Structure 1
Amino acid sequence: MRALSGASPLQLKELLGRGSCGSVYKAVWKGVPVAVKVIEHDDEELSSPGLSPLSSCAGLHAFSTDVGLSAGLATNALSTRAIEEELERGAQLNTRNLLAAGRAATEQCGGRTMTSSMATTRGSQALLEAAMSSAICHPNIVQTFDYQILDPSSSAGFFGAQGCRPNLNGLSGALQETRIIMEFCDGGTLEDAMHSGRFHGTDAQGRAVADMERVCLTLLDIVKAMEYLHLMRIFLKDLKPKNVLLASSKVDKRGFIAKVSDFGLSQLQPDKSPCNETTSTGVEAAGTVTHMAPEMIAHGVGSCASDVYSFAILAWELYAGRGAHSSLSKVQIMFGVASQDMRPEFPQPTPAWYRDLVSTCWSRDPRARPTFAEIKAILLREIAGVDKLQRDTCAQAP
């Protein structure tokens, strides 16, 4: 995976979504359907004195194939344990290279730790996101295949008819684009699937009930991805259903697998520091208010434990089938979570083990929250119990 400059071989299709950090398009790249995140920025941003994103990120994408994994690894003949052991070895290898690149970026930025969420310009932030995501390879993380920096002098390098460039307020130089070419997930977002009722059925009385097996298997996908990121000391910062994508699978009983996406706000934890050690994050770039941990709201600091809080809100939403705090304003949510320990109320009935797990994950004290390895063990135990119940039921059937 390498950074390319100049004209793009992409065949651009429809717009899939737009956010504060860029737009995502469906496209065809080398004959394969892909998703492309486009981040527009001033070309002067990449030549600012004292900041060279390409050189500081060179170590990130240069080693990205060292792990020897692919996004389709989970479908081959390896056992689950063998896959997990290989992923852990890969995470340890990638962590060393990520930290080396982080140190180089720190030197470039006058001693300040340079991360995608702390980049001084939109262009450097885009490059750091691209380089970081291309260094990651896990079956439950959306794969980044490549990234490109478009030459502002080439009209063919821009979206729009006749190469017309969109007008961005506040950008004084020629417009550039950083394009992040990613795996296309045909199942849409977890948020859309959740709201469409794909994780709920009906009981004998016609009431909506959560499909616990489907819920737990999907949460397990997310937990495996987050465990891997934390092994690499990556603090994601913005875990939520909208940033989890679903990809069709012919081998999974659900018909899909879940994949974590979007590293636009991610932060690499410093070398030799625990992943749960808090670092300054800045509330403005900290993530989505509904999923933001109280320490991030109140003090502008966060850690990998803050991702666990975000996971708890996501897990509540998946079980409830609706968004958390949907009737409240951002100010009400921030005040309630940070000052009054406000959390969503569990629907009735909620399994006791599920309530206990989610409640522990959204503890006010980050140190009281479990790690994703611990969460994975709980989910695996409960999934095994569901499987045994189904086998026993089938065995007793006439």
Structure 2
Amino acid sequence: MYGLQIIRNADLEELRELGSGTFGTVYHGKWRGSDVAIKRIKKSCFAGRSSEQEKLTKDFWREAQILSKLHHPNVVAFYGVVPDGTGGTLATVAEFMVNGSLRNVLLRKDRSLDLRKKLIIAMDAAFGMEYLHSKSIVHFDLKCDNLLVNLRDPQRPICKVVLDPREVGDFGLSRIKRNTLVSGGVRGTLPWMAPELLNGSSSKVSEKVDVFSFGIALWEILTGEEPYANMHCGAIIGGIVNNSLRPPVPETCDPEWRILMEQCWSANPDIRPSFTEVTDRLRAMSAMLQSRAQAPGS
């Protein structure tokens, strides 16, 4: 079907629940002897009038097909769809990342990530995003919750961007309205949303909405905090739209990191760099840090 891998429910083994959200529940499981992430999708995701149900189901299959064709070391691999879940529910099977989301890693302060590791993580995420944009795919929901990590190698963390069939914004199919306020469920994502998504200037919406989100994610990686944690939605929306609200940059922030972060979250999409430029600049920062570490007397 659609050239997609169809996976039988009987071939899956669920080991433990990893988390649940609006769209469903994710489990760590096994498929053909390998560790995988199994996402059981709630039936309510496809609710509505029969014509609406049909459209949502069709969208899901089409977007799953797009995901199955993506192959990049910094994008979580999508293996296939399970059409015969319990009670006729759908599920997806994807690559399992041992340490889960970067947000969870940052919350657990016991895992100290130095600047070198933070740069590697940011670079990995930017490489993944550069690839998605090269395929005309806009994420629309980039944040540390959607960056998955493997920290098994103490020297080299690995970070990958995760996409969901319910979250693919394919520009060829102009899925621009996917994550605007209309679709609800915006609360958790608000701090990462570019002003043009919130102020109704949808003609200006481009892949640069992801660059804005990446700027906020850089701040998360830097501080380990959640942006605007104690603020109400209304105040956040107002602040982003009138450009008076951005997360506070710590005094100790590396100047290059600060410049990049502030350009990424610029109110003007034209000022925001492309992900190709972002990866170049992060690479240069990484090289500079390395040469400083190797300098005599350092």
Place the TM-score, normalised by the shorter chain, in its bin. 0.7 to 0.9
Letter paired with 1:143: A
Letter paired with 1:343: R
Give the CA deviation at 1:235: 0.5
Match of 1:185 in 2: 97
Aligned ranges for residues 313-328 of structure 1 at < 5 Å? 313-328=216-231
Quick one: distance in 2 between partners of 1:285 and 1:136?
A: 26
Is 1:41 paired with 2:43?
Answer: yes
Match of 2:160 in 1: 259
Quick one: distance in 1 between partners of 2:126 and 2:59?
A: 26
Contact 2:142 2:192 in 1 (8 A): yes
Give the CA deviation at 1:292: 0.7
Contact 2:169 2:176 in 1 (8 A): no
| 1:53-74 deviation per Cα after TM superposition (whole angstroms, max 9, x unaligned) | xxxxxxxxxxxxxxxxxxxxxx
Letter paired with 1:147: V
| 1:115-169 deviation per Cα after TM superposition (whole angstroms, max 9, x unaligned) | xxxxx42x3343234222211111111111121211xxxxxx41xxxxxxxxxxx
Match of 1:269 in 2: 171
Match of 2:149 in 1: 246
Give the RMSD, CA atoms, in angstroms: 2.8
| 1:314-335 deviation per Cα after TM superposition (whole angstroms, max 9, x unaligned) | 1011111201111101221111
- Specify whether residues 316 and 49 from structure 1 end up closer, same or farther in structure 2 by C-alpha distance, changes over 3 A only: closer
Contact 2:5 2:79 in 1 (8 A): no
- Specify whether residues 333 and 320 from structure 1 end up closer, same or farther in structure 2 by C-alpha distance, changes over 3 A only: same
Residue 262 of structure 1 aligns to a residue in which SS?
Answer: coil
Quick one: distance in 1 between partners of 2:71 and 2:30?
A: 21
Aligned ranges for residues 51-200 of structure 1 at < 5 Å? 120-121=55-56, 123-150=57-84, 157-158=85-86, 175-197=87-109, 200=112
Letter paired with 1:290: P
Residue 17 of structure 1 aligns to a residue in which SS?
Answer: strand
Q: Percent identity?
A: 26
Match of 2:194 in 1: 293
Aligned residues: 289
Contact 2:243 2:267 in 1 (8 A): no
Match of 1:15 in 2: 17
Give the CA deviation at 1:214: 1.2
Residue 6 of structure 2 aligns to a residue in which SS?
Answer: strand
Contact 1:28 1:34 in 2 (8 A): yes
- Specify whether residues 23 and 243 from structure 1 end up closer, same or farther in structure 2 by C-alpha distance, changes over 3 A only: same
- Specify whether residues 20 and 124 from structure 1 end up closer, same or farther in structure 2 by C-alpha distance, changes over 3 A only: farther
Residue 279 of structure 2 aligns to a residue in which SS?
Answer: helix
Residue 13 of structure 1 aligns to a residue in which SS?
Answer: strand
Aligned ranges for residues 302-321 of structure 1 at < 5 Å? 302-321=205-224
Letter paired with 1:239: L
Structure 2, unaligned runs of 5 or more: none
Query: Which is worse superposed, 346-355 or 235-244?
Result: 346-355
Give the CA deviation at 1:198: 5.9
Structure 1, unaligned runs of 5 or more: 53-119, 151-156, 159-174, 202-210
Match of 2:123 in 1: 220
Is 1:231 paired with 2:121?
Answer: no
Q: Highest Rg: 1 or 2? A: 1
Give the CA deviation at 1:262: 2.8
Contact 1:309 1:362 in 2 (8 A): yes
Give the CA deviation at 1:3: 4.0
- Normalised by the length of structure 2, the TM-score is 0.87
Residue 67 of structure 2 aligns to a residue in which SS?
Answer: helix
Residue 10 of structure 2 aligns to a residue in which SS?
Answer: coil
- Specify whether residues 192 and 129 from structure 1 end up closer, same or farther in structure 2 by C-alpha distance, changes over 3 A only: same
- Specify whether residues 189 and 44 from structure 1 end up closer, same or farther in structure 2 by C-alpha distance, changes over 3 A only: closer
Contact 1:139 1:259 in 2 (8 A): yes
| 1:82-107 deviation per Cα after TM superposition (whole angstroms, max 9, x unaligned) | xxxxxxxxxxxxxxxxxxxxxxxxxx
Is 1:283 paired with 2:181?
Answer: yes
Quick one: distance in 1 between partners of 2:181 and 2:131?
A: 25
Give the CA deviation at 1:234: 0.3
